Amino acid sequence: MMERGHNPQAARDHNRALILRLIRDAGPTSRAELARLSRLSKPVVTDIVDGLIRFKLVKETTKGETVLGRKPILLDINREALWVMGIDLSRNHVDLLITDLLGEPQRKMSRRVSFEDEDAGYPERVVKYVTDIIRDSGVDPARIAGIGIGYPLPLSHAQRMIVSEGQVVGWKTVRLKELIQKEFDVPVYLDNDANVAALYEKWYGQASEFKDFLFVLVGNGVGCGIVIGGNIYRGTHGIAGEIGHMSIDPNGPRCLCGSRGCLETLVSVPRLLSLVLEEDVKAGREGGVPTLEQVCERAARGDAAVVDKIREMSEYLAIAITNLVNTFNPEAVVVGGAMARLGESLRTPLLGALASRAHPLFADKTKVVLSNYSEEAVARGAAMLVIESFFQNPQRYVPELANGVRSRASSES
């Protein structure tokens, strides 16, 4: 990105977006308070707020009690000004949400369809589901600001529906993002599920107090959302955070990537289930592959085979987290994904394993917390891709903001 000088137009755009974010974060709030927080003059703030009210992104409200006199007029985001769609494309289902401008879900839909259902016209199905939920919700399609999609694959693959490791090979030519963008004529954001779940944790979950944190998603595989300075760090080609292929044991099992002893070969929900199954078979216990729910229950009541396997995985996961902490020195690591449903049964052995691996320099510095697993994390995080973009650059979504008639006061900015 080429550096450029600050000219008045860029300064106005910056200031407008800043005021909008301050209203979101501090609101309901007064014009005077916004001037104090932004260090902009009151006339400049008033001018910006006038524009935001004119285009219905901000509304005036009153709050609190006053014994005498008028209640103060405060400003708040008009959260129903625009709608946002968040989609979780997972291996075997598609979950869709419509949220308001602050990310609160208003309508939900879930459909079972698998990546392997190539013949079922997967991409066209996704388009149909988007159409369906818009129709069912009754919202005006013209007021959909954008669509965010979370996808359990590296971003560069997801962009083109090219899939690594042999899954969904037939999709090589489908460009899902372009397909949806063309169909609905709104900005479409596609990102890795670990990245969008990290956004969920930042806005609604365990990471709201952290600017720099890592979100480690353990589900069918292992991924990592890296948040630096409040923003997702994606790396040079958009594929940062592929920690599933961190080497944990150089002499470990062969991985599909070609290396050995990668984290994903040692830690994942399917591996946990199959290790428990092995123990069950050894013990003559019947019932086939247990579900994660069953494993959670057995762990909670101290079933030895399950506890043992969770401890084993905790050791491997602790090595990975320690490596990440030593490298990134983040404020916190949030461990999420379906594995987090184990709750306390995972937390205790994991924190124990971490304590024994931690470098003294880092030992007390980084908080490691378990996510309160939410089924909606990926879809809501995906909606945040759109919402964060909106609050960075509202004039992209409401171009009239930038073209609005300038009042007298704005000439001083």
Q: Residue numbers of the site for a second copy (CB under 8 A)?
A: 2-7, 10-11, 14-15, 18-19, 21-22, 37-40, 44, 154, 156-157, 164, 212, 224, 226, 228, 233-243, 245-250, 257-259, 315, 319, 322-324, 326-331, 356-362, 365-366
- Shortest approach of a second copy to residue 286 CB, angstroms? 34
Q: How far apart are the first and last CA of the chain?
A: 26
Residue closer to a second copy (CB basis): 183 or 331: 331
Counting every residue written for the chain, the total comes to: 413
- Reduced to 3 states (helix: H, G, I; strand: E, B; else coil), residue 252 is coil
Helix (H, G, I), strand (E, B) or coil at 209: coil
Residue nearer to a second copy on the CB measure, 40 or 387: 40
Closest to a second copy by CB, 173 or 356? 356
Q: In the bound complex, what is the minimum distance in angstroms from residue 199's beta carbon to a second copy?
A: 18
- What is the distance between the alpha carbons of residues 107 and 94, in angstroms, rounded to a whole number? 14
Helices (H), ranges, 76-213: 122-137, 155-160, 176-184, 193-204
Nearer to a second copy, 114 or 323 (CB): 323
Shortest distance, CB of residue 216 to a second copy, whole angstroms?
Answer: 11
CB of 243 to a second copy, least distance (A): 6
Q: How far is the CB of 266 from a second copy (least distance, A)?
A: 10
What span, in angstroms and rounded, lies between the C-alpha atoms of 279 and 310?
Answer: 13
Whichever of 295 and 317 has its CB closer to a second copy, that residue is 317
Contact 139, 83 (CB under 8 A): yes
CB 145 within 8 A of CB 186: yes
Q: Which residues are CB-neighbours of 219 under 8 A, at least 6 positions away?
A: 152, 193, 268, 269, 337, 338, 339
If you write DSSP's letter for every residue of 346-379 in order, what string do you get? HHHHHHHHHHHH--TTTTTT-EEEE----TTHHH
